[in-house]
Amino acid sequence: MAAAKTVKVPHLGGITAGYELSADTGKLTDIVNLLAVEPLGHGPTSSPVEHFSYGDSAILVLQAIEVLGIQKAFALRTSQDGWIVARMALLTPDRILGIMPMGTSRDYECADSRAKGGWDPAPLLMPFYEKWSSETETPNFVVDDVWCGMVSGLGYGDGASPELVEFWKNTVEDVYSGDEGRKKLRVALLCLGDIKCPVYLLQGTKDVPYGIIIPREQIKLFTGSKEAKFILAEGGAHYLNATSPKEVADALVELVTKHK
């Protein structure tokens, strides 16, 4: 489900940010607290400003963890949200101790990216953007089943059970409903060498959007990092923390214990 708790932060005139603390126990929670913060466009996170960027989400996460009393953190995110943790490391190098982007790219979906196995999302996504545009309010809007199916299908690959597909269908429909939900849906390469903290870059061998050539090459862009490590998870799909939880947990434990 989407995050149940919220916290107010000042960015963009006042953002309501959704967050959850993990109740799981095990080798991760033995050494760190696990906190999930929903970026703009996701879950209950909302802003008075309709338009936003990944950089805005980076700022909201930094402000949210500050409000919650967290002084230093390791940050990990999946898919394009990998750009968020990279921006966080650039903005507050004294607070972000390490980052773990998963199933992501350091570039936009350019020709070079597509030539190396990355996806070309424009033909796939433009019909949705056009359908979600409206001159009038849409109080009865509910995201369609095709989009819900893509969320689970691309994210989990062929390992998505019917129950998991149904869970994500219900969650996505709940988050992206009404006029605000429709607007959430509608709406350059970073200075990676300036990132000084350690970077563990994880990628699944079955990641459809970005493949494995791109991340294997782009880990070399973190020239200023104290440790830049590429980790390939055999059989992992795009939502790597869901399809390869052991590999993600092992990498995070290594990152935290080596660099805390």
CATH number at residue 76: 3.40.50.1820
Please report the pLDDT score of residue 13 as a whole number: 95
Q: Which residues contact 57 (CB under 8 A, 6 or more apart)?
A: 39, 40, 41, 81, 84
Instruction: Residue 12: give the domain boundaries.
Output: 5-259
Q: How many domains does the chain have?
A: 1
Is the separation of the CB atoms in 2 and 44 below 8 Å? yes
Please report the pLDDT score of residue 191 as a whole number: 64
Using the structure block, give the residue that is written with the tokens 């409903």. 177
What average pLDDT does range 46-57 have in this prediction?
Answer: 87
Residue 150 reports pLDDT greater than 80: no
Summary mean pLDDT of the chain: 85
What average pLDDT does range 191-215 have in this prediction?
Answer: 87
CA-nearest of 67, 68, 66 to 95 is 66
